[in-house]
A = this chain, B = another copy of it.
Amino acid sequence: MVTRRSFFKGTGLGLAAATAVPALLATTARAQQAPAAGGDAFLTAIAGYTFNKFKLEPALEMMKKADVRHLCIKDFHLPLNSTEEDVAVFHEKCKSFGVAGYGVGPIYMGNADEARRAFAYARRVGVKVVVGVPFEMRDGKRVGSAVLLEVVNGLVKEYDMKYAIHNHGPDMPELFPTAVSGIELIEKLDKRIGLCLDIGHELRAGIDPVESILKYGDRLHDFHLKNVTAATKAGRTVELPRGIIDIPAVVRALRKVSYTGACSLEYEKDMDAPLAGIAESIGYFRGVADATRG
């Protein structure tokens, strides 16, 4: 027997990683860290939008299959007007697949009432991160709203929650196309307001997402992991190993800024049958994380 411990992967670090991110987890009872996640402070997760063609149960089945235990909840799986009872049923269902919700959104909000409704919903759901798109109408278009962000500034204090603005890339030039377009509106606001950095849309807007991570690290509250085919509007989502974003550089940047949130795969290819692409992407992310650690 020449088996050498040093050659095998570190295990038993899951708990340490989970305790490093208490702010994200509603209750420790719901917190389940994937065993293979190793010693990183960030979570491997999936953005609910990935499953927009699926009801909750088949979505959770796919997450279990791909060994992903953290979900950012979209309203098509748990409506904004859900009661405490609806929420309890939802969590019980997630738990039966080994999954826990860590945040909600993206939620579009066009006025103060809608903003408060989102925070009250997050409190009922028991999570501490709201991914949001705060807008106002101008010339019939949704435009990123500094006025509404002032309202959100009060809400993050009142609810003690993080609020993460989602960047949309070049498809919506008025509605947070880039990380910096959000940063410009929140610089003077509470640090609990920050970004859900979508690295695919960031690159499609012509901005290097690695640079955005490094620049805005203290404002990163959520993260959409994906890869794309081109650094232009024509770029489309592909499996994580097959795009042009340098994912090892992304992971190194997340560690450099001590990111402790979730890395949520948002997989927008083959949305009718996404399992294989999800599995390939999650596997790739874990391979990169394991190979670059320590």
Contact = CB atoms under 8 A, between A and B. Distances in A.
A70 B246 CA distance: 25
Interface stretch (A128-136, A149-157, A284-292): A284-292
Question: What's the interface size class on A, roughly?
Answer: 35 or more
A272 interface: no
Query: Which 7 pairs show the lowest CB-CB distances between chains A and B?
Result: A287-B287, A283-B283, A280-B283, A291-B291, A283-B284, A284-B287, A279-B280
A138 to B, nearest CB: 26
Contacts of A248: 290-291
A285 B231 CA distance: 25
Interface string A217-249: 000000000000001000000011110111111
A202 B148 CA distance: 61
A67 interface: yes
A272 to B, nearest CB: 14
A211 interface: yes
Contact of A9 (B246, B279, B290): B246
Nearest to A212: B2
Interface of A: 1-4, 7-9, 11, 35-36, 65-67, 203, 206-208, 210-211, 231, 239-242, 244-249, 251, 275-277, 279-292
A98 to B, nearest CB: 13
Give the most central of A9, A279, A287: most B CB within 10 Å: A287
A contacts with B: majority SS: helix
A283 B290 contact: no
Contact of A239 (B67, B247, B277, B290): B67
Contact of A231 (B3, B9, B67, B244): B3
B208 A7 contact: yes
A231 to B, nearest CB: 5
A283 B247 CA distance: 12
Give the most central of A1, A35, A286: most B CB within 10 Å: A286
A46 B244 CA distance: 25
20 contacts: A1-B206, A3-B231, A7-B211, A8-B231, A8-B245, A9-B246, A36-B241, A239-B283, A240-B287, A241-B287, A275-B275, A275-B276, A284-B286, A284-B290, A286-B287, A287-B288, A287-B290, A287-B291, A288-B290, A292-B292
